[in-house]
Amino acid sequence: MEERIARFIAALRGAGVRISIAESQDAWQAIVCTGVMQQRVFYDVLRATLIKDSAAFATFDRLFSLYFGPDEPLIDPQADLTADERQLLQQALNELLQQLAQDLQRLLDWLLNGRPLTPQDLQRLSEQAGIEANESSSPYQVRRAARRLQQLLGWDQLQALLERLWEQLAEQGMSPQTIQHLQEQVARNQAALQQQLEQFAGQQTLEQRARMTRHPQAADLLQRPFSSLDSAAMRLLRDEVRRLANRLRSRAALRQKRGKQGRLDAKSTLRANLSYGGVPFEIRLKQRRRKPKLVVILDVSTSMRPVAEFFLRLLYELQDQVQKMRSFAFIDHLEDVTPHLTTLRVDEAVQAVLTTLPPGYYSTDLGYCLRQFEAKHLALIDSRTTFIILGDARNNFNDPALETFRNIGRRARKTIWMNPEYPAQWGTDDSDMLLYLPYCNEVHQVRNLEQLTIAIDRILL
């Protein structure tokens, strides 16, 4: 049991759930307190000590049933037979067995005597089957691995053999009812054995994966351009985003704390010093509202998607450092995506934003979108708002609506443009970047996560 729990924890880690040593220690202690006899309590104990995020419950449940799921007991098909019938079966079996290869023989033996596979058997099988680490632990893959194990056991030949066994028994004079009874029970044993194999295969693939090192080089990834990321790297980066956000948050909070110089707050000072008999002992200053208000316009056309995704993720994690944020996405027209970001969890939110405007052969038209923004949402921009545009400024030779852009910029506290292209590419072809440039307070190049982090840090300033 102990070994099984340890392997279960390793498998959870392999499936991407973060479990520290302290937590696994807690789990051990807790199990000592409650024992393992009650399945339900055992489940609750492991979950309360190991899993600290409700999003990981699904993974936990899946693995739990894999490792501690009910084992279907195999039935002994011979239990209900009379002594004569039993002898008949044994005789037929013996005749048949002589013709069989060793593995098949053992399989038939298991089924007809109702014995489950021993760990040694399974170990030997998995070595032969060569279950590999890179196989994912999806139900489909697990079934495939289990299927390979079955093939090794000679499952396919088995059906034919059983048919022959029944025929032989009938010839030797066993009654049809008994044969049918025997058939049913063997079929049930077959199912149980299959389940055992599946469980084993699932555990194997997971453990192999847990043994592999998980984080290649997060630092390298930070500097890889978004456009060159494959889906595995994207996944790693998504994990990295949270760490980055934490760093940004503490930086921003520190700045806020240190930057507490401002004008004297007479009211608050008086109140604070009442306890000193009105002698101004402690000076209170007016705290400047430092958290920024943001209005963000995101280009979510195909080329911009990864950048937009990570931008959203970072800002989502940093929501507590932002006073207010309104977000819009555009390709050929503008959509308000604020509701998604405020009501959903981060993964769903990002997904929802990106699917509001599905990618395709749209003609990006920032000019039109800016006008739309001016007509409907201009009131959002005031002297405390930072206006951010995330886009490559490739406008398909449409009207860039410079006057509108300038208008918006004049109302805002700051206008910041983030562009994933190299400065040398600005202004080439249909890029209007150089036209917009004079009206921006800051322009950042954001090709990779590191640059994006720096740019967002500037926003929080």
Contact residues: other proteins, CB under 8 A? 18, 20, 22-23, 26, 29-30, 33-34, 38, 40-41, 44-45, 47-49, 51-54, 57, 242, 246, 249-250, 253, 275-277, 281, 317, 319-320, 343
Specify the residue, 54 or 383, whose C-beta has the smaller distance to other proteins: 54
CB 425 within 8 A of CB 431: yes
Specify the residue, 240 or 421, whose C-beta has the smaller distance to other proteins: 240
Specify the residue, 276 or 397, whose C-beta has the smaller distance to other proteins: 276
Specify the residue, 70 or 438, whose C-beta has the smaller distance to other proteins: 70
Specify the residue, 180 or 246, whose C-beta has the smaller distance to other proteins: 246
User: Chain-centre distance of CA 255, in angstroms?
Assistant: 33
Structure tokens at 351: 């997904």
Could you give the CA distance from residue 91 to residue 40 in angstroms, rounded to a whole number? Answer: 46
Specify the residue, 57 or 397, whose C-beta has the smaller distance to other proteins: 57
Backbone angles phi, psi at 419, to 5 degrees: -130, 125
Closest alpha carbon to 377 in 352, 411, 344, 427: 411
Q: How far is the CB of 418 from other proteins (least distance, A)?
A: 24
Q: How far is the CB of 352 from other proteins (least distance, A)?
A: 13
* DSSP secondary structure letters along 393-431: -B-TT----HHHHHHHHHHSSEEEEEE-S-GGGTTSTTB
Dihedral sign computed on CA atoms, order 440, 444, 447, 451: negative
CA end-to-end span of the chain: 54
Report the amino acid identity of residue 141: Q
A 10 A CB-CB count for 171 gives 9
Q: How far is the CB of 252 from other proteins (least distance, A)?
A: 10
Specify the residue, 34 or 180, whose C-beta has the smaller distance to other proteins: 34
Dihedral sign computed on CA atoms, order 242, 243, 246, 251: negative
Q: How far is the CB of 87 from other proteins (least distance, A)?
A: 51
3-state secondary structure of 294: strand
Q: How far is the CB of 256 from other proteins (least distance, A)?
A: 10
Element (H, E) at 336: strand 334-336
Report the amino acid identity of residue 198: E
Q: How far is the CB of 456 from other proteins (least distance, A)?
A: 17
Backbone angles phi, psi at 359, to 5 degrees: -75, 160
Burial class (CB in 10 A: 0-12, 13-18, 19+), 438: exposed
Specify the residue, 174 or 337, whose C-beta has the smaller distance to other proteins: 337
Q: How far is the CB of 279 from other proteins (least distance, A)?
A: 9
Could you give the CA distance from residue 214 to residue 206 in angstroms, rounded to a whole number? Answer: 13
Q: How far is the CB of 41 from other proteins (least distance, A)?
A: 5
